[in-house]
Amino acid sequence: MICYLYNEPSLLFFINDAPDLLYYSHIPATILALLVGIFVLLNSKNNLLNKLLFFLALSFSVWTTANLILWTNIHVDILLFTWPFLAVSSSLISILSIYFIYVFINKQDVSSKLKLSFLSLLLPVLLFAHTNLNVSGFNITDCDAFGFEGIYYKAYYIALGILALIWIPIIVVRSYIKSTDLQFKKQLRLIGVGIQSFLLSFFTATSVASYLAGIGYFEDSSLEFYGLFGMIIFMIFIGIIIVNFKTFKVGLLATQALTVALLILTASQYTYATTKITVILTTISLLFTALIGYLLIKSVKSEVEQRKKIQVLANDLEKANERLRQMDKLKSEFVSIASHQLRSPITAISGYASLINEGSYGEVPDKMRDPISRIVESARMMASSIEDYLNVSRIEAGNMKFTYSDFNLVDETEHICDDLRPEALQRGLVLLFRKRIDSKGIVNADIGKVQQIIHNLINNSIKYTPKGAITVYVHDDIKIKKLYIDIMDTGIGMNSETLHSIFQKFERGDSANSVNVKGTGLGLYVALKMAEAMKGTISAHSEGEGKGSRFTIELPLAL
């Protein structure tokens, strides 16, 4: 085994007659690793994964630089100082690779226990690196260091490499089997194959090379040069992951710059490619880098264009939304103004028609009674529709005012039932009131609004029940401090489709028209909004069309 002890090297390791492959394998891989590492680190300094990749690349560069010096330098003091860096950097590569894969998979830092294990695994290598155990002298003609117990020290850090080679595939395969996310699986395949081929080529080539050289099979360890190409493969895989998955959070322009730097770096190999084999190797690398670079830039460009298109669409959408908001506001204002304008004349029509009907302006001829009753009824319906529209515009403008007070909702519901019973009877319906109350039945709410809600729901039951009964049942649950009012009828019922939509604005059930042609489809919408504003709710149930309905108002008890 011989070293390249020809001339005094310039800049630590440049000598004229060293084999080209020595530089070809060391320098591009080192610069590439450092370039990617620094790049990734600068783009996101706080991302742990980026940091780990940087330190992995740094350890690799320390190894290659130390190795280059050991191959070419002739000064024993420099050699003795440099030798331990091989062990330290190669152990760091093993442990950092495991750490890196853990963070890549779990997207978070490892536990402190695992960190401590990593540190304890590294500790012996770090502690004894510059001791006699590792290096006590340097055999310059053999180009090898020797230590008193060098064999144990070396065996230990080689074992760390083997540990990484076994540990990483296990966790990668385990997480690959467990994961159902196809994108993640794709990334895992790339990173797993990338890091494993790097470690495999690095560790096997370096240790096999020195073993074969040791037993005299080769005259030197130059076989290890090939092991360093694994780093280039790893960095290319990292590049693909950066561009396709944004895992390392690298800017798009940065990726383009990196590609150009890679091309220049690879092409620069021609300057010291003297033999045929290195020219061929450089050309292959250049073509390969150019292809990867082309694909990367293409994907970057299409990404940028897509982003631009999305931005334009987003701007258009924003404008359209703004226009819609303005139109909606105008519509609400229009409805509000129109409703206010209509309210006074309709009140007058309704009031005077009632007075006429009651005979306040003299005897009403029999023939006129029916038309006047119709005027009264229509005016009342119109006033109620206008009230609905006004309520909707108040809700939408956020103008609905609530005045809270404590009152007995059970009594209030009973009064409303008493008020509406004649109307129900007129339509041949029975209106029953039932209660089962454990509390005092007091709620804190806006009494007017609550009356309006109950009125509305019982009125609906009267409207949508051709024959049978309406039962209003008030009950409570003091454990959860809730008071419920069930309004059950034997009317037209609802199918599930209707049940889903009735609380929306202007929604009316299909069969509603057959029973009650006049209706705005706003009553339930307004009632629900009011109930919700008072921390309550309303729900609707029905077994189906023709099977009756049950509406439940729920309000919090004031205990």
Residues that bind ligand ADP (CB under 6 A): 460-461, 464, 489, 491-494, 498, 502, 507-509, 512, 519-525, 549
Q: Which spans in 358-495 are helix H?
A: 366-397, 409-426, 447-463
User: Under DSSP, is residue 304 helix (H, G, I), strand (E, B) or coil?
Assistant: helix
427 closest CA partner among 391, 455, 468, 395:
468
Min dist CB 309 to ligand ADP, Å, is: 43
351 or 544, CB closer to ligand ADP?
Answer: 544
411 or 532, CB closer to ligand ADP?
Answer: 532
- Quick check: 43 and 254 in contact, CB under 8 A? yes
What are 275's two structure tokens?
């033999």
Q: 282-301 burial, b if ≥16 CB within 10 A, otherwise e? A: beebbeebeebbeebbeebe
433 closest CA partner among 480, 390, 468, 469:
469
Backbone angles phi, psi at 408, to 5 degrees: -85, 110
Q: Residue 142 burial (CB < 10 Å; 0-12/13-18/19+)?
A: middle
Min dist CB 543 to ligand ADP, Å, is: 12
What are 169's two structure tokens?
């595939």
281 or 528, CB closer to ligand ADP?
Answer: 528
What contacts 24+ positions apart, CB below 8 Å, involve 351-356? 353/379
Closest residue to ligand ADP: CB criterion: 509
Q: Which helix (H) or strand (E) holds 343?
A: helix 276-357
255 or 456, CB closer to ligand ADP?
Answer: 456
Min dist CB 467 to ligand ADP, Å, is: 13
Residue type, 170: I
415/421 Cα distance (integer angstroms): 10
- Based on DSSP, count helices (H) and strands (E) in the chain, helices before strands: 16, 9
Min dist CB 504 to ligand ADP, Å, is: 9
Min dist CB 555 to ligand ADP, Å, is: 19
49 or 450, CB closer to ligand ADP?
Answer: 450
- Quick check: 243 and 296 in contact, CB under 8 A? yes
Axis-axis angle for helices 48-72, 76-106 (nearest 10) = 160
177 or 517, CB closer to ligand ADP?
Answer: 517
Min dist CB 336 to ligand ADP, Å, is: 19
454/273 Cα distance (integer angstroms): 93
28/281 Cα distance (integer angstroms): 12
278 or 385, CB closer to ligand ADP?
Answer: 385
Min dist CB 507 to ligand ADP, Å, is: 6
27 or 512, CB closer to ligand ADP?
Answer: 512
Min dist CB 515 to ligand ADP, Å, is: 8
Min dist CB 432 to ligand ADP, Å, is: 15
* Token pair 């109950």: residue: 454
220 or 489, CB closer to ligand ADP?
Answer: 489
Residue 466 per-residue DSSP state: S
Min dist CB 521 to ligand ADP, Å, is: 4
Q: Which helix (H) or strand (E) holds 320?
A: helix 276-357
Min dist CB 254 to ligand ADP, Å, is: 58
Min dist CB 111 to ligand ADP, Å, is: 57
29 closest CA partner among 206, 279, 281, 225:
225
273 or 512, CB closer to ligand ADP?
Answer: 512
164 or 502, CB closer to ligand ADP?
Answer: 502
Q: Find the farthest-apart pair of alpha carbons in the chain and give their distance in angstroms, rounded.
A: 137
What are 271's two structure tokens?
């300057």
72 closest CA partner among 13, 118, 25, 27:
13
Residue 557 per-residue DSSP state: B
185 or 550, CB closer to ligand ADP?
Answer: 550
